[in-house]
Amino acid sequence: MKVFALDVSKQLEAYEVEYHVLQEEMSAVRGWKGHSPMDSYSPNDTSDHLARLQIENEALRRQKTELLDQLQVVLSVIKSCVSFSCTFCIVNQMCYEKYFQLCLNVVALLCD
């Protein structure tokens, strides 16, 4: 489970970086002035490029949301497993104490 959670976290970080890069590209497209590499584009090319970036940005947001949801599920499962493990340890300790008490009873009966 820990490996899966780490994989999801790494993917989420990668998507976040990509999201920020896309935001910077969109800002550059919106604010281009003077002699920039965008000067060679026609306004239609620029708006098409911006539209594609917006679509990709929205897709990345959805993926980020899905990954966050998956991460929450994994964390919930991990929490449940830890809780189960603690409960198991308590029950195991109780069984050991009961076993020890029964052993003492057997010894007492044999010594009488």
Q: Give the tens place of pLDDT for each residue, 16-66.
A: 888 888 888 877 766 654 444 545 556 677 888 888 999 999 999 999 999
Residue 18 has a pLDDT of 83
Residue 40: both structure tokens together = 């060679």
What lies within 8 Å, CB to CB, of 56 at 6+ separation is 22
pTM of the predicted model as reported, rounded to 2 decimal places:
0.49
Q: What is the DSSP string of the chain?
A: -HHHHHHHHHHHHHHHHHHHHHHHHHHHHHT--SS-GGGGS-HHHHHHHHHHHHHHHHHHHHHHHHHHHHHHHHHHHHHHHHHHHHHHHHHHHHHHHHHHHHHHHHHHHHH-
Residue 3: both structure tokens together = 């490996």
Model confidence at 91, pLDDT cuts 50, 70, 90, reads: very high
**Domain range annotation of the chain:** 2-111
